[in-house]
């Protein structure tokens, strides 16, 4: 079957809420990718800073903007997924940076390994002014390593992942009951059933900000992460039995 003229290979999905400080860097890092067959779905989730004006300042036909009242990250990501027409879904966070070859490397890998459901990458860690302060090169590379790590820690850098949309459609989208650990809960449904990898290449720049540090130390987030760990073990065991 011929490809629909309105379809793209990749749907990049990004939610923005008061992200003006780093938003231009995030947008430009996607628009300057060496791989060009993508749509860029941006949900402006009720921002009351200059985010909307920044998004509207770009005139690229691949960008699709939805601007509305604030509903939260999970609702925004699920809305973007519902609008996506790409074979692959690529996440992007509004304060991070994708290196130019990121999409090309992930598309090439998934095209050659159709059994892979989720393809993450390693990352450089940067601070609020863009200085490199470390590396995230701990995510396990293969499915066995990911399954071993997942009961203890999130095994993917969320913003770096590219997923088979058909797999997400099959297991379901992000769960509203797991704010701040919504990606971890999604992996708990995907990883037991589908082969997943992390490319051992730093194709993403993950920014540590004051708000991200505060969120990681949030008690409710820690408790939800603990709940997800139990779900991971149960779902991994169920997949074996």
The answer as to whether 5 is a domain residue is: no
pLDDT (tens digit per residue) in 156-165: 999 999 999 9
The answer as to whether 206 is a domain residue is: yes
The answer as to whether 134 is a domain residue is: yes
pTM: 0.95
The CA distance from 152 to 182, in Å, is 16
Q: Which residues contact 23 (CB under 8 A, 6 or more apart)?
A: 16, 51, 54, 55, 94, 95
Instruction: Name the burial class of residue 180, with classes exposed (0-12), middle (13-18) and buried (19+) by CB atoms within 10 angstroms of its CB.
Output: middle
CATH (domain of 49): 3.90.550.10
The answer as to whether 104 is a domain residue is: yes
Q: How many domains does the chain have?
A: 1
Per-residue confidence (pLDDT) for residue 153, from 0 to 100: 94
- What domain range includes position 25? 10-240
The CA distance from 115 to 195, in Å, is 6
The answer as to whether 3 is a domain residue is: no
Let me know: does 239 contact 192? Beta carbons within 8 Å. yes
The answer as to whether 4 is a domain residue is: no
The CA distance from 145 to 161, in Å, is 17
Q: Which residues of the chain have pLDDT under 50?
A: 1-3
pLDDT (tens digit per residue) in 97-139: 999 999 999 999 999 999 999 999 999 999 999 999 999 998 9
Per-residue confidence (pLDDT) for residue 183, from 0 to 100: 98
The answer as to whether 116 is a domain residue is: yes
The answer as to whether 60 is a domain residue is: yes
Q: Which of 81, 42, 239 is nearest to 164 (CA)?
A: 81
């Amino acid at each position: 079957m011929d490809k629909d003229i309105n379809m793209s290979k990749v749907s990049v999905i990004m939610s923005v809420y008061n992200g003006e400080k780093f938003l231009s860097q995030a947008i430009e890092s996607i628009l300057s990718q060496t791989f060009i067959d993508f749509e860029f779905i941006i949900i402006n989730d009720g921002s009351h800073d200059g985010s909307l004006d920044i998004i509207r300042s770009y005139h690229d036909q691949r960008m699709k903007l939805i601007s509305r009242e604030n509903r939260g990250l999970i609702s925004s990501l699920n809305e973007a997924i519902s609008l996506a027409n790409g074979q692959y879904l690529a996440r992007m966070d509004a304060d991070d940076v994708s290196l130019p070859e990121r999409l090309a490397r992930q598309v090439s890998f998934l095209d050659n390994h159709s059994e892979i459901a989720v393809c993450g990458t390693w990352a450089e860690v940067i601070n609020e002014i863009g200085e490199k302060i470390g590396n995230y090169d701990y995510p396990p590379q293969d499915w066995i390593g990911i399954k071993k790590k997942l009961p203890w820690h999130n095994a993917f850098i969320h913003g770096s992942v590219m997923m088979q949309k058909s797999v997400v459609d099959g297991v379901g989208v992000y769960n509203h009951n797991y704010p701040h650990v919504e990606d971890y809960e999604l992996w708990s449904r995907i990883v037991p059933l589908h082969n997943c990898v992390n490319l051992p290449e730093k194709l993403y720049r993950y920014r540590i900000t004051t708000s991200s540090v505060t969120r990681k130390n949030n008690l409710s987030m820690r408790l939800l992460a603990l709940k997800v760990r139990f779900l991971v073990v149960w779902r991994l065991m169920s997949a074996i039995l």
